[in-house]
Amino acid sequence: MIHRIGSSVNTFGLLSTFSISMFVLIMMFAFDHSNLNAFAQNQSLPFSDIYSDQVLGKINDKDHLAEMNFSKPVDVYSKDGVLKTTLVADYKIGKVDNKTTTAMVYNGSLVGPAFHVYPGDRVEIDLVNNLRESTNLHFHGLHVSPGNTSDNIFLDVQPGKTLHYILDIPKDHEPGTNWYHSHLHMLSYGQVSGGLSGLFIIEGLEELLPEPLQNITHQTIAIKDFPFDNLWVTTHDLSNTMSGHESLTVNGEVNPTINITSGETQLWRLANIGSENEYIIKLPGNTFHVIAEDGSPVWEVWNNDSLFFPSGKRFDVLVTANGSGFLPLGVPPNPFTAPYDSHVATVNIQGNQTNEKPADILPTSLIPRSDLSNATIAEHRVLNFSSNDRDYIYKINNKTFDVNRTDFKPKLGTVEEWKLVNLDKISSGNIHPFHIHINDFQVMSVNGQPYNAHGLQDTVMIPTEGDVVIRIPFDDFVGKSVFHCHLMFHGDFGMMGIFEVVK
Ligand SMILES: [Cu+2]
């Protein structure tokens, strides 16, 4: 079971083989420059231009230094049904984990502002591109139009330009934790690694909780691996995610403290808003009660001691603090990045009481079940994911992404079943977190075993030599968008396709 991955011995093996393969990949980057040159020529190498002399001059000037602000993300709420705001993408220098760091950030902050909107709201965002390369925006988890200047990842906001995004959030949009980030093909990995992401919360989740829980304390826990440190600047043609020079951040801080009182129940919004790292989050002696996954409230609340977060994953959970003192909000040690990722944050449990029995007040369901098990399937499709790490080629159905090719044309109002097959060997460690824009899906089976879905999701990990079967309802919006591997390096290097919902 994908959710229970933390309790599976195999998973740790999987993760370490993944790490090893990434390490090998990075080392290939470091030493095989014949391939790098080929990529640089067609500008498909992430980061290729970031540290040109021109850019270094810009980021070292005192204007940009003066503006640096690596503090916690700013919360921006809609008002009277409208959220109007500006996102300025620019280079900044600041300190993370006491290391001087060069970043690409929104509004001068390591984590972009957290947007809070309500179903039915209109969102207007001016994206100002002060980078020396194109960028754009994707709203991960939102069920909105993919057209015009809505969640349209085919837009290209060139350097020096501003684009006015307008999103209409449907009145019946599910509440939950989503996020936004740059999604310009071939540059998204570098830009999100560099800092260009933030939370996008659809409010209203607590109204689905039992009355005593509707005013509990919230914590947003936006996890991001941040590989741009001073060493990275001098070795700019490789990701240092696996080279030991990254900082793991939560809300822009390294190892922040999260306060909770013993016996208190809080709502934690956990999100992996980084480009590639995956985490297993656990809090010793405590259990997570999952009330929403990928921004979708569950029809059956489920519990686990650990949660698996590939890039893009979110869980909204209730935690009733058990124990006292300082506990690591943890991930298993990774030999290539230790000690930075031994844990993401520290939880300070104050007091020592358990006067509240969680089972008495916790909900069992947030929304009515809308199981697709008996849905009429309009189309069955098979998507084969395969990697060529040697040549940095990542394919779906033996094809790399082509903006001029529409892979699938689902009909509006139908449900399709997609079998996602990972052809990569276990030894390669290439798990692929599948993500589709606009439309959430239900996981039906994993490796042939029926899967007991608790709700819908938009991101699912396809295990090596394994498969996942999903059912996708294509409701409400026509138009083109994409599905892809959310290990953004793979997506940038081809593992992405286009679907167009037609009438
Ligand atoms: Cu992948």
> For the segment 442-462, what is each residue's pLDDT rounded down to a tens digit?
999 999 999 999 999 999 999
Domains along the sequence of the chain with CATH:
43-223 (2.60.40.420), 243-361 (2.60.40.420), 377-501 (2.60.40.420)
Q: How far is the CA of 461 from the centre of ligand 1 (A)?
A: 9
- How do residues 107-159 score in pLDDT, each as one tens digit? 988 889 999 999 999 999 999 999 888 999 999 999 999 999 999 999 999 99
Q: How far is the CA of 346 from the centre of ligand 1 (A)?
A: 30
Q: How far is the CA of 117 from the centre of ligand 1 (A)?
A: 31
Give the pLDDT of residue 464: 94
* Both structure tokens of 499: 């679907």
Which residue has better confidence, 186 or 298? 298
CA-nearest of 388, 283, 278, 288 to 334 is 278
Please answer whether residues 249 and 226 qualify as being in contact, where contact means their C-beta atoms are separated by less than 8 angstroms. Answer: yes
Q: How far is the CA of 432 from the centre of ligand 1 (A)?
A: 4
Which residue has better confidence, 7 or 251? 251
Q: How far is the CA of 494 from the centre of ligand 1 (A)?
A: 10
Backbone angles phi, psi at 209, to 5 degrees: -90, 160
Q: How far is the CA of 120 from the centre of ligand 1 (A)?
A: 34
Q: How far is the CA of 349 from the centre of ligand 1 (A)?
A: 37
Q: How far is the CA of 387 from the centre of ligand 1 (A)?
A: 8
Q: Distances in Å between the alpha carbon of 403 and those of 277, 406, 490?
A: 27, 8, 16
Please, which residues have CB within 8 angstroms of residue 129's CB and are 6 or more apart in sequence?
89, 135, 157, 158, 159, 160, 161, 162, 163
pLDDT(407) > 60: yes
pLDDT band at 246 (very low <50, low <70, confident <90, very high): low
Q: How far is the CA of 249 from the centre of ligand 1 (A)?
A: 23
pLDDT(67) > 60: no
**Whole-angstrom Cα distance, residue 410 to residue 428?**
33
Which strands make up the sheet holding 343-350, listed edge to edge? 257-261, 343-350, 325-330, 279-282, 306-309
Please answer whether residues 83 and 139 qualify as being in contact, where contact means their C-beta atoms are separated by less than 8 angstroms. Answer: no
pLDDT(423) > 50: yes
Give the pLDDT of residue 69: 53
Q: How far is the CA of 464 from the centre of ligand 1 (A)?
A: 10
Mean per-residue pLDDT for 232-259?
A: 62
Which residue has better confidence, 37 or 100? 100
> What amino acid occupies position 299?
W
Strands 265-272 and 279-282, how do they pair? unpaired
- How do residues 172-221 score in pLDDT, each as one tens digit? 999 999 999 999 998 888 888 888 999 999 999 999 999 999 999 999 99
CA-nearest of 102, 122, 103, 121 to 112 is 103
**Whole-angstrom Cα distance, residue 305 to residue 283?**
7
pLDDT(65) > 90: no
* Both structure tokens of 173: 């949009």
Mean per-residue pLDDT for 271-300?
A: 93
Strands 247-250 and 122-129, how do they pair? unpaired
Give the pLDDT of residue 72: 67
CA-nearest of 207, 195, 197 to 137 is 197
Q: Distances in Å between the alpha carbon of 208 and those of 177, 328, 366, 368, 453?
A: 14, 30, 6, 11, 19
197: part of which helix (H) or strand (E)? strand 197-202
Q: How far is the CA of 493 from the centre of ligand 1 (A)?
A: 10
Give the pLDDT of residue 444: 98
**Whole-angstrom Cα distance, residue 477 to residue 497?**
18
Q: How far is the CA of 487 from the centre of ligand 1 (A)?
A: 5
* Lowest pLDDT segment from 78-82, 88-92, 141-145, 394-398: 88-92
**Whole-angstrom Cα distance, residue 228 to residue 177?**
26
The H-assigned helical ranges of 137-224 are: 188-194
Give the pLDDT of residue 73: 77
CA-nearest of 351, 309, 353 to 330 is 309
Q: How far is the CA of 333 from the centre of ligand 1 (A)?
A: 22
Query: Which chain residues have CB less than 5 Å from ligand 1, an ion?
Result: 432, 485, 487, 490
Q: How far is the CA of 424 from the centre of ligand 1 (A)?
A: 10
Q: How far is the CA of 192 from the centre of ligand 1 (A)?
A: 16
> What amino acid occupies position 159?
P
Q: How far is the CA of 496 from the centre of ligand 1 (A)?
A: 9
Q: How far is the CA of 10 from the centre of ligand 1 (A)?
A: 19
What global pTM score does this model have? 0.85
